[in-house]
Amino acid sequence: MSLADMPSNATPPLSANIVDLVSDDDNDNDDDDIREAIALSLRSTEESSNSSSASKPGRDFEEAQPGYAAEHPKASPPTQHQPEATLPTSIPLRPSTGLFGLDRKAMEQERLARLGKRKRTASPERSSKMASLPSPPSSQPGAAEGIAERPHKSAMLRTATTESKDHKPPLESSIQYPRGAIKRTWAFKHPRTDDIKIEEVLQPLTLNIAVISAFQWDDRWLFSKINTRKTKQIWVMSAKGKDLQEKLLAEADAADIPNFKLHFPPMGGQIVNMHSKLMLLFHPTHVRIVVPTANIRNVDWGETEKDPRTGESWQPAVMENSVFLIDLPRRAESSATDDEALSSFGRELLYFLKAQELGSHVTKGLMKFDFSETAHIEFVHAVGGNHSDQASKLTGLPGLSFAIRRLGLDKVQLLELDYATSSLGTLKIAFLEQLYTAASGRTPTSHGEIPADLLDRIRVYFPTRETVVKSTGGPACGGIITLSRSHYNAAFPKQCLRDYKSTREGVLSHNKMLLARGRLKDGKPFAWAYVGSANLTESAWGVQKVLKSGKEGVLNIRNWECGVVVPVPEEKFMELSLGDEEIPPMSVFKGTVEVPFQYPGDKYSDKQPWFFREEE
C-alpha cells in the first residue's frame, strides 16, 4: 500500500517523555523462504515463553530474536566446544530466556560488582563481561567495562581538535568524524586497521539518547554496552502483525527496563521486513548518525562468545561488517532551521524517519544539529510499501538514481560495479540492468543503453561453500549468508558471481557494499561507495515495471532499508595516470573505504555457492 494509505495506528505512539529533545507476482518467490522462516521463528518464540531458560540450556540467544530465522533459515545450530590446542569450528552457546527475558536486578548487581572491581581509571582496551554471564575477567580487548561513572564535565565536552593524531581517541564524547567516515567493524584476534568497536561507535559515557534500528537483536549484549539508567533508548524493530508487536511490548514492559521504548514501523500489505540498520546517538555536543551493515549482535561487531568454564573469549572473530558514521555539532539556540534549509542528506534522512512514523520528538531533535557538512554525501533509503507518482522517484533504486544525480555523477560513459552482499534472492538480469541504470544516474526503468557485456561489468561477491566451510566459524556461522539452491538453479546470472574472501583470513562477511568506478562523458573519472543494509535483492531495492501504456508501474518495496553514498574525493584522481578509456582501479577507494574483500575475486568455475538449505 502507498504511504498515503498507511493507517495512523499502524505503530504504537511514542510517549512525549521518551525523547526529551529542545505488486509483482514474479517477486513472490524471493520471500517464500522468509515467510516460512518467520513463521518458524514465531513458533520458537512462543515455545520459549512457556519454558524457563533452565529447561533449554543449550538454546542460542539470538535464535529467539524476531527476524532471526529470516537471516538464519534452517542454519545448523552451533555445538558447544571446550577450548583445545586446535582451533574450534563453531561458537559455544549461552543459555537464554528469549527477548527481554531479563533479570534486571541480577544484571544491575553484576554491573555494580564489575564497577567495584574496576581501577579508578580504566583502560579502554580492557574487556567486559556480558551482563547476563558472570565470569572471570575476559582477555578479549575492546568491550567497555562499566559505564555508570560520568566523566568530569570538561572531559565530556572535549572535541576532536584536541586529539593528537598519534593518540588513540578515548571513549568520551568528541566530534571525531565531522565529515563522515566508513569503517570496518573490529575483529577479535585480528590486527586493527581502519576499524571501529561498538563502544567507540556508541561513546557510552556521554550518550544521552539512542535511537537504534536493526533486524536482529541481542538485548543483553547491548544492555552491557549502554547505561540504561542514564541513556534513553528507542529500538526500531521488525515485527509484522499486531499480535507479535503486542507480545514484544508486553515483554519489554515486564522487563522493566528504564528509559526504554519499542517502535515498529508500518508493516502492512506486502512489507516483509524492517531490515534497515540505523543509529541516532545524541550527545551533549553533537549527534552521531550511524549507518552500519551490522545487526545488534556481538558476532556482527567482531566479538565472540566466551568459554563457559573460564568466561574468556578464545575464538577469533567469525563475522565482519562495515559502518558509516558522521558527527554533527549542535546548533546555537538561535539558529534552528527547517526542512528546506537542510542538505539533501538531511532531508532524505528526515523523510525516512517520518515514513517510519518515529514521531516529531526525534525529527525535531535532529533539527537542532548542523547538517552543513553533509552536502558531499547522500542518504539513500528503501521505504517499505507500494509507491506511485512522485513518491516512487524518491526511494529504492529510483532513490539511488536521484542521489547520483544530486552528486553530479550521472552522464556516465563507462561504469564498473562491485557488489558485496550477504543475501541473494531470485537474481535476474533485468534487475541487474535496473541497478546498472540507477547507478548511472538514470531512471531505472528508462530505455537507456545497456552494455552488451553487462555481466562482465558487474561483479557480485558471495562466498562459495568451500569458503564458508573453511572459515573460522565453519558452516555453523554461515546461516546468516543466504541463497536458495532453487533460485540459483533457475535463470541465475552466474557469470557475475565472485567468491567473497575477506582480507581477514577466515572471517565471513555480512557486508552490503556497492563500489562504483567509471568515467563521465566529459572524460572525468569518478568513484563512489554505497554502504548500508540493502542486499542485492529486489525486496531490498524494489521492483518496478513499465506498463504497456509506456508509463511506470507501481514501485513495490518489501523491506525497509537505508544506506549512504560516499563519493571518492576529486583530488584522489589526480594521483592516477589513466588512459582515455581506462577506469580508476579499486585502489582509488583507499582513504574513503577499506575494501574488505579480495578483488577482482575468483570466478566460481565448478564451485558451488553457499546454500543455507543443503538438503534442497
How many Å from the N-terminal Cα to the C-terminal Cα in the chain? 34
> Confidence band (pLDDT; 50, 70, 90) for 391?
confident
- Determine how β-strand 209-213 pairs with β-strand 232-236: parallel
Helices (H), 14-67: 28-49
Enter the pTM of the model.
Answer: 0.77
Would you state the pLDDT for residue 340?
A: 67
> Confidence band (pLDDT; 50, 70, 90) for 104?
low
Give, as one character, the DSSP assignment of residue 152.
P
Three-state SS at 128: coil
Would you state the pLDDT for residue 48?
A: 38
Say whether 277 counts as a known binding-site residue.
yes
Give the strand order in the sheet containing 181-185. 195-196, 181-185, 322-329, 286-292, 278-282, 209-213, 232-236, 260-263
- Determine how β-strand 322-329 pairs with β-strand 513-520: unpaired
Catalytic center residues: 275, 510
**DSSP string spanning 177-209?**
-TT-EEEEEP-TTS--SSEE-HHHHH-GGG--E
Residues 6+ apart with CB under 8 A from 479: 71, 72, 73, 74, 75, 76, 612
HSE, side-chain direction, 13 A CA sphere, residue 40 = 15
- Asked if residues 322 and 596 have their Cβ atoms less than 8 Å apart, the reply is yes
Mean pLDDT confidence for 87-93: 35
Element housing 156 (H / E): helix 153-156
Say whether 512 counts as a known binding-site residue.
yes
Given a cut of 70, whether residue 345 has pLDDT beyond it is yes
Would you state the pLDDT for residue 497?
A: 97
User: Which of 35, 2, 23, 1 has its CA nearest to residue 425?
Assistant: 35
- Asked if residues 513 and 293 have their Cβ atoms less than 8 Å apart, the reply is yes
Would you state the pLDDT for residue 101?
A: 59
Domains of the chain from N-terminus onward: 382-589 (3.30.870.10)
Residues 6+ apart with CB under 8 A from 523: 413, 580
Residue 472 C-alpha cell reads as 573460522
> Confidence band (pLDDT; 50, 70, 90) for 332?
confident
**pLDDT, tens digit, 9 for 90 and up, residues 487-542:** 999 889 999 999 999 999 999 999 999 999 999 999 999 999 999 999 999 999 99
Would you state the pLDDT for residue 141?
A: 33
**Cα separations (Å) of 152 from 173, 175, 325, 426, 464?**
11, 17, 26, 55, 51
Given a cut of 50, whether residue 557 has pLDDT beyond it is yes
